[in-house]
């Protein structure tokens, strides 16, 4: 069976400027896959290529075996309805209540009638601990509540694949931990695969079981695997600098290289 998401030899560019090349990976059902790397290495751009917001310079992105960027607009729209997305800002519709935000997503992604949409929306809001906030407007929510409302909207239709852009950025450690538990719970209950971009080490170590590390200097991925194991394995100084919060080693002094007089 085809992987839920399969990326082959992707090259990312803005005009003449190469951002990354040689990106290949598969994500299977039930996996939590982290896209990691320092600032500016191309994580958000990669996510845009994966969710259909920006075409890559070359390479393929397959959703359930179908080449997204080689498909027509109707086929792409059908693929987009099969995955959920939580943007960094949560991107809730500001003029609608929390409940209506979730109902509108269900109206777009399912054949449920209005009554069933509301029942499902309330169920999902209870799941993320926001049943009491269903009738509030997004502006009335705290940052952590907004993220949970965005997550409720993304998971309401039980998509098999979820994309999360910096889900815990800007949250205090307790809210961040709560969001991590929710993501694990979603995976457990629905069997969904999750692709996330994150800088937060506690979160990466707690939830991700696979991942890819993008390097801004070489403009290629330099490590692949579970973040916890990569942190122990000393695969590359740049990976250690990120995952162990260690400074990269200094270049050897001239005398150590044996090139002094």
Ligand X SMILES: Nc1ncnc2c1ncn2[C@@H]1O[C@H](COP(=O)(O)OP(=O)(O)OP(=O)(O)O)[C@@H](O)[C@H]1O
Contacts to ligand X by CB under 6 A: 14, 19, 37, 39-45
Shortest Å distance, C-beta 231 to ligand X: 18
- How large is the angle between the packed helices 173-190 and 143-155, nearest 10 degrees? 10
Residue 220 CB, shortest distance to ligand X, in Å, is 14
Task: Decide whether 76 or 199 has the Cβ nearer to ligand X.
Answer: 199
Q: Which residues contact residue 193 at a Cβ distance below 8 angstroms, ignoring those fewer than 6 apart?
A: 4, 5, 27, 28, 29, 30, 31, 32, 33, 160, 161, 162, 187
Taking the least distance from each CB to ligand X, the nearer of 15 and 251 is 15
CA distance 131 to 123: 8
Distance of closest approach, residue 19 Cβ to ligand X, in angstroms = 5
Of residues 127 and 242, the one with the C-beta less far from ligand X: 242
Tell how strand 193-197 and strand 210-215 pair up.
unpaired
> H helices of the chain, where?
43-51, 73-80, 98-109, 114-127, 143-155, 173-190, 201-207, 227-233, 237-243
In this complex, which beta carbon is closest to ligand X, that of residue 38 or of residue 225? Answer: 38
Q: Quick one: residue 30, left, alpha or beta (phi over 0 = left, psi -120 to 50 = alpha)?
A: left
Q: Cβ 38 to ligand X, closest distance in Å?
A: 7
Q: Which is nearer to ligand X, 13 or 80 (CB)?
A: 13
CB of residue 88 to ligand X, shortest distance in Å: 9
């Amino acid at each position: 069976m085809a992987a839920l998401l399969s990326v082959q030899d992707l090259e990312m560019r803005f005009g003449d400027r190469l951002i990354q090349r040689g990106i290949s990976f598969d994500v299977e059902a039930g996996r939590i896959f982290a896209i990691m790397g320092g600032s500016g290495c191309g994580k958000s751009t990669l996510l845009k290529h994966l969710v259909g917001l920006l075409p890559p310079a070359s390479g393929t992105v397959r959703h359930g075996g179908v080449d997204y960027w080689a498909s027509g607009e109707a086929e792409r729209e059908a693929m987009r309805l099969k995955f959920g997305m939580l943007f960094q800002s949560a991107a809730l519709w500001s003029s609608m209540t929390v409940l209506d935000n979730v109902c509108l997503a269900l109206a777009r992604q399912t054949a449920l009638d209005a009554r069933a949409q509301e029942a499902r929306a309330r169920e999902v809001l209870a799941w993320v601990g926001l049943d009491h906030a269903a009738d509030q407007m997004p502006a009335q929510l705290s940052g952590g509540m907004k993220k949970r409302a965005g997550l409720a909207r993304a998971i309401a239709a039980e998509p098999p694949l979820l994309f999360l852009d910096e889900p815990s950025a800007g949250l205090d450690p307790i809210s961040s931990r709560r969001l991590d538990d929710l993501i694990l719970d979603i995976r457990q209950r629905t069997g969904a695969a999750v692709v996330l971009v994150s800088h937060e080490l506690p979160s990466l170590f707690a939830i991700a079981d696979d991942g890819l590390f993008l390097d801004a200097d070489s403009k290629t991925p330099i490590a692949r695997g579970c973040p916890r194991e990569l942190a122990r394995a000393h695969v590359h100084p740049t990976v250690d600098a990120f995952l162990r919060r260690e400074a990269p080693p200094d270049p050897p002094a001239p005398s150590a290289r044996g090139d002094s007089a």
